[in-house]
A and B are shown apart, each in its own frame.
Chain A
Amino acid sequence: MSLPPVLRASVTPPELELIACQELVEIIPLIPMEKTAFIAGAYGPLRPPHRARIPIWMALNLKQKKKCHIIAPDWLSVEYLEAKIKDETTQTQFTELPFHFAEISRVLLDGATDDLQNPDKLRTLLQDLREARQAKARAGLQNLEHSSLRLSNLSAMEINEIRPFFIQAMAVLKQLHVPPK
């Protein structure tokens, strides 16, 4: 293959970000717009002050031009994340979070900071959550098997991060494995 080795194993974080931006988010538009057809589908109409659901990439674009307010998803709040961190540190399993939570939270924290409540606190909480989950993935490494791996509720970004070396490590284990007679 002509791809450089780093791109062969998995997609890059910016690519995941692009995929995550297809998810829908609620906005309060500040401009009216008719229902418009895009390649991904038709969105709108936007009628202020009624809420509308549009893809994140579009919301961010409108936001940049100050033509809408983004309403943060339910899970992107201090209380929700604090509860999740508590679950995360008390349970052995990964807690359930939106599949693209890492990407969405980052783009919203970057592009729509003023629409979020307490963004600095959110950032710290997300960082804590990420670290707690990383510690778990690391513990899972010890029990790595040659044939299968079960890590429920892992998010896209986390899977992507561990994919290259988990695959390689499992391939090695498979070579070393001899089935019991």
Chain B
Amino acid sequence: MEDDYFSIDAILAENQKIGCRFKIDIPDMGHVGGGGERDITTSNTLQLPIWMVYTVVLSDWADMIMPPAFGSKVRNALNAEPCSVRLAGLVGAGGLWYGFGRTIMEMLDEKREMSILLTNTFRKRLVEVIDQAQHFAALGPAGGVGPAGDSAQSFREGLDGTERELFVLAQEGSKRMKRWYEEGEKARR
């Protein structure tokens, strides 16, 4: 999620398309949106890849439309209960919701609001992520069913890539501790 040119995460986070509403006519460029139109006309809306959006928006040829993953519907849901939103579903499988959000944030004039939304969501979900990771570490290699069925499982399935990474880290750490404590018990017997 950093600015590093070679960061795989940064590249993956940009694997998204953003809707843009054009302000000007551009002849013979209709193919960038993938449609059959020959020209781009004013107030046409096209789905463009992020790398192109930078140029198009900064040159003031088009306005960016806030992607649905950060639309008002999602915002309201996040404000109500961050843990019940399935972030992975918003950006596709293996998607990086936070990374995508950060990219969008960079293009906004008013960055602060977006930053607060992302930060709060992350912080509130983090506790649940770690709790579940530790729970699964405690279960041992047999794995098994998660706590209290549906809501926890649906939360786990909805983790975005960044959170998955944290989940794995916390799980590894807990497992190591558990192994260490149990080794001692074995030695005693």
Contact = CB atoms under 8 A, between A and B. Distances in A.
A169 B176 contact: no
B165 A173 contact: no
Interface residues of A, number: 34
Given A9-B169, A165-B169, A180-B112, A175 B2 contact: yes
B141 to A, nearest CB: 16
Instruction: Please classify the interface of chain A as helix (H, G, I), strand (E, B), loop, or mixed, using the class held by over half of its residues.
Output: helix
Nearest to B183: A14
A173 B118 CA distance: 9
A18 B2 CA distance: 36
A54 B178 CA distance: 29
A110 B119 contact: no
A106 interface: yes
B34 interface: no
Contact of B1 (A109, A110, A175): A175
A144 B126 contact: yes
Contacts of B119: 146, 173, 176-177
B170 interface: yes
Instruction: Please classify the interface of chain B as helix (H, G, I), strand (E, B), loop, or mixed, using the class held by over half of its residues.
Output: helix
Contact of B131 (A9, A138, A164, A176): A138
A161 B173 contact: yes
B81 to A, nearest CB: 15
Contacts, number: 87
B180 A110 contact: no
A141 B98 contact: no
Interface string A166-178: 0011011101111
Interface in A50-82: none
B173 A164 contact: yes
A6 interface: yes
Nearest to A106: B184
B162 A172 contact: yes
A165 B98 contact: no
A20 to B, nearest CB: 12
Nearest to B113: A178
A97 interface: no
B184 A177 contact: no
Considering the complex of A and B, which 3 residue pairs feature the smallest CB-CB distances, nearest first? Answer: A13-B180, A178-B115, A165-B169
Interface of A: 6, 9-10, 12-14, 17, 106-107, 109-110, 113, 138, 141-142, 144, 146, 157, 161-165, 168-169, 171-173, 175-178, 180-181
Interface of B: 1-2, 98, 101-102, 105, 111-112, 114-115, 118-119, 122-124, 126-127, 130-131, 133, 162, 165-166, 169-170, 172-174, 176-177, 179-181, 184, 187-188
